[in-house]
A and B are shown apart, each in its own frame.
Chain A
């Protein structure tokens, strides 16, 4: 199985900050990586697919990069609605696997 490791597991940031979350795959997955945002009690929301393609309707403050084993999600200017938990997920091979999540909290 491909292990997905996110870092940090949590972070505190202020409104307006630039935030970067890292996701590392235990083996190469090309660009078969997605990012999701989840708020408490809600379903995940798809943000990015193919490592860097923005899902329709997702604001451009979200961006993704990377290929192979190392990936990043960047939020350019954190807003109150962005405080949530973020997950990466590989869909290169079965079983599909998720990272452990990064909780973004208000400083």
Chain B
């Protein structure tokens, strides 16, 4: 089955760190750009960032709101994507989704999401 499955969410204190994972199956993970998108409780969707594929040197892009605090990486040998989140703030509280960018453009596959809550 073609799918993305996120894990690693939980409750963390402000200023803390957390690492999310996204496991891919059913397709050639290494060919694709993969993104992180988040959704704060009761709010809309917000793009977090992207990692390109090996052919594009695994380069990354980030939203201004997370640049310098969050780092996206991937391990193609494990079909996995990661989001390292440091210096977490209350406003980072959200469900985090990973999404496949088909052709490096539009999202065509989403994971089910993992909830991150930043609170003391």
Contact = CB atoms under 8 A, between A and B. Distances in A.
A101 B44 CA distance: 7
Of the four ranges (under 10, 10 to 19, 20 to 34, 35 or more), the interface on chain B belongs to: 20 to 34
Interface in A32-60: 32, 34, 36, 38, 42-46, 49-50, 55
Contacts of A100: 44
Contacts of A38: 45
Interface string A65-93: 00000000000000000000001010100
Contacts of A43: 97, 110-113
Contact of A45 (B35, B63, B105, B110): B110
A74 B12 CA distance: 41
Interface string B91-106: 0000001010110011
Interface residues of A, number: 23
B76 interface: no
A46 B110 contact: yes
Given A96-B47, A98-B47, A91 B105 contact: yes
B112 A34 contact: no
Interface of B: 35, 37, 44-47, 50, 61, 63-64, 97, 99, 101-102, 105-113
A-B CB proximity, top 6 nearest: A49-B106, A96-B47, A43-B110, A98-B45, A34-B106, A101-B44
